[in-house]
Amino acid sequence: MTSTPDYAEKIPNNVDLADDRRLQRALESWQPNFLSWWESMGPTLPTRDVYLRTAVNVGREGWAHFGHVAMRDYRWGIFLAERDPDRRIGFGEHQGEPPWQKVPGEYRSDLRRLIVIQGDTEPASVEQQRNLGATAPSLYDLRNLFQVNVEEGRHLWAMVYLLHAYFGREGREEAEELLHRNSGSQDAPRILGAFNEETPDWLSFFMFTYFTDRDGKYQLGTLKESAFDPLSRTCEFMLKEEAHHMMVGTTGVDRVVERTVQLTVEHDSDEVAARGGIPLDVIQKYLNFHYSVSLDLFGGETSTNVANYYTAGLKGRWLEGRRRDDHKLTSDSIMVDTVDEDGQIAQAEVAALVGLNTDLRREYIADCEGGVKRWNRILESAGLEARLKLPHVAFNRKVGAFAGIEATPDGERLSAQEWDLRRGEWLPTEVDKTHVRSLMRPVHERGKIAAWIAPPRNGINGQPFDYEYVRLA
């Protein structure tokens, strides 16, 4: 059962940590390593304090508290959603059985792998975003960046708790490794591709929080279905925090598009770069990049790993409970993307179990369409004809069926040579990136905002836009 979090404790938690001295000591000895990682790899902009949300409870009402805190004193804690005594495993060969409170020996290494991969992404994103504070377009945005960062730090805590509490010495070693691998490092990179890319500017940050955090939503959604109850409960609570990160991405891109539209209409010209805005075709290129690297995060179109995870009950489907089938899928099939014998982009029928990465990726893609629709409404309501769109699934892929081929955003195959010649039409070029970076001048004054982005419609927690969201050191 969960208890009420005690903030007087060194590690705030709702898992009765004080009753397990060994575990408490192990986590308390990991804590200074986490803090030194935060100091050396976390946000570089010196701040006095930041208006942050801190999780204080897991219930539906009033789960978070807002206030100014010095970031190094942020109370990173361990919070699991409440245990449901009636819960039953919802899929796979253990369907209908009570969920596991301990890790079954036969699934130990697979579960550890899933938790380590999930855990690895959290600090990676903090590392990727560490320099963004220096170029924040407003104090409101700066605060949102830091909110995302501290919560990714908390999500690392969430996975480290599971590793320490349920995986013994190996789990403790993995927890150490999570602090040793670094985004973009030559020797010890982060595990998944997208988390070794740079996030050098705010347009990238908004695209990342829209597209890559959204992969997080879907992966956490599948782990929330897990038969391993502590993992399920951990992910359930993480999803609550994750919603804010995606709001930052969705409204961030809204505001960039809005400003571009304003400049276009005002000057009756789409030459917005010279007027301090970001041209729509550059926004499209950033979208193409972040969407395609995020599609890679779902793994191969077919995967025996994912089939085994599902059958064992380790990782379910998105909204498993709402699926109208037998939740075992042993005699079902699914059409997946593939490259056929003639080298053409095609579809193939495979067993549903091995196609589960495709199933999840499709749910994700449908969700991403929502953002594009929203951004296009901004263009439409200003009377502009241009539209944004998601590129074809085969575009710019490094993982899965399309890793070995090249394709345009419309899904036409290209030779490697054509791709090299034309990729700058679809992905940000050095010129595009240099222009975007040239706009990234810090605006750290209350109530002011950079010229390349529109102000937000709402502040945080009912505060106005000109609130002192961050006090710089």
Contact indicator for 18, 99 with CB cutoff of 8 Å: no
Q: How many helices (H) and strands (E) would you count in the chain?
A: 12, 7
407: three-class secondary structure by DSSP: strand
Positions in 428-447 near ligand BYC (CB under 6 A):
none
Residues 6+ positions from 120 with CB-CB distance below 8 Å: 178, 181, 190, 191, 192, 195
Give dist(CA 409, CA 423) in Å, integer. 10
CB of 5 to ligand BYC, least distance (A): 23
Applying CB under 6 A, the site for ligand BYC has a residue count of: 25
- Kindly write down the DSSP assignment for every residue of 310-342, as one continuous string: HHHTSS--TTGGG--S-SS-TT-EEEEEEE-TT
Positions in 75-134 near ligand BYC (CB under 6 A):
114, 117-118, 121-122, 125
Q: Does residue number 337 form part of the binding site for ligand BYC (CB under 6 A)? A: no
CB of 122 to ligand BYC, least distance (A): 5
Out of 55, 150, 192, 345, the residue judged to bind ligand BYC by CB under 6 A: 192
CB-nearer residue toward ligand BYC: 225 or 432? 225
CB of 398 to ligand BYC, least distance (A): 7
Contact indicator for 112, 171 with CB cutoff of 8 Å: yes
CB-nearer residue toward ligand BYC: 182 or 219? 219
Shortest-Cβ-distance residue relative to ligand BYC? 299
Contact indicator for 342, 224 with CB cutoff of 8 Å: no
DSSP-assigned beta bridge partners for residue 339? 345
Buried b (16+ CB within 10 A) or exposed e, 388-404: bebbbbbbbbebbbbee
Question: Residue 392 is which amino acid?
Answer: H
CB of 123 to ligand BYC, least distance (A): 9
CB-nearer residue toward ligand BYC: 239 or 372? 239
CB-nearer residue toward ligand BYC: 298 or 452? 298
How far, rounded to the nearest angstrom, does the alpha carbon of residue 58 sit from its chain's CA centroid? 21
Out of 256, 399, 439, 460, the residue judged to bind ligand BYC by CB under 6 A: 399
Cα four-point dihedral sign 455, 458, 464, 467: negative
Out of 151, 152, 174, 197, the residue judged to bind ligand BYC by CB under 6 A: 152
CA atoms within 13 A on the CB side of 1: 3
CB of 41 to ligand BYC, least distance (A): 14
CB of 174 to ligand BYC, least distance (A): 14
Give dist(CA 63, CA 54) in Å, integer. 9
CB-nearer residue toward ligand BYC: 207 or 388? 207
Cα four-point dihedral sign 247, 249, 250, 256: positive
DSSP-assigned beta bridge partners for residue 78? 13
CB of 158 to ligand BYC, least distance (A): 11
Out of 13, 149, 183, 357, the residue judged to bind ligand BYC by CB under 6 A: 357
CB-nearer residue toward ligand BYC: 272 or 306? 306
Give dist(CA 83, CA 99) in Å, integer. 11
CB-nearer residue toward ligand BYC: 230 or 299? 299
Positions in 201-220 near ligand BYC (CB under 6 A):
212-213, 215-216, 219
CB-nearer residue toward ligand BYC: 187 or 385? 187
Both tokens assigned to 242? 């994750």
Q: In the chain, what is the straight-line distance between the N-terminal and C-terminal CA atoms, in Å?
A: 41
CB of 113 to ligand BYC, least distance (A): 7
CB of 121 to ligand BYC, least distance (A): 4
CB-nearer residue toward ligand BYC: 205 or 426? 205
Positions in 262-321 near ligand BYC (CB under 6 A):
296-300, 303, 305-306, 315
CB-nearer residue toward ligand BYC: 118 or 260? 118
> Nearest-CA neighbor of 105 among 312, 275, 245?
312
Positions in 13-52 near ligand BYC (CB under 6 A):
none
Residue 67 burial (CB count, 10 A): 11
Both tokens assigned to 318? 């998105």
CB-nearer residue toward ligand BYC: 79 or 298? 298
CB of 278 to ligand BYC, least distance (A): 22
CB-nearer residue toward ligand BYC: 74 or 465? 74
Buried b (16+ CB within 10 A) or exposed e, 217-226: bbbbbbbbbb
Q: Using CB under 6 A as the criterion, which residues of the chain lie in contact with ligand BYC when the complex forms?
A: 114, 117-118, 121-122, 125, 152, 192-193, 212-213, 215-216, 219, 296-300, 303, 305-306, 315, 357, 399
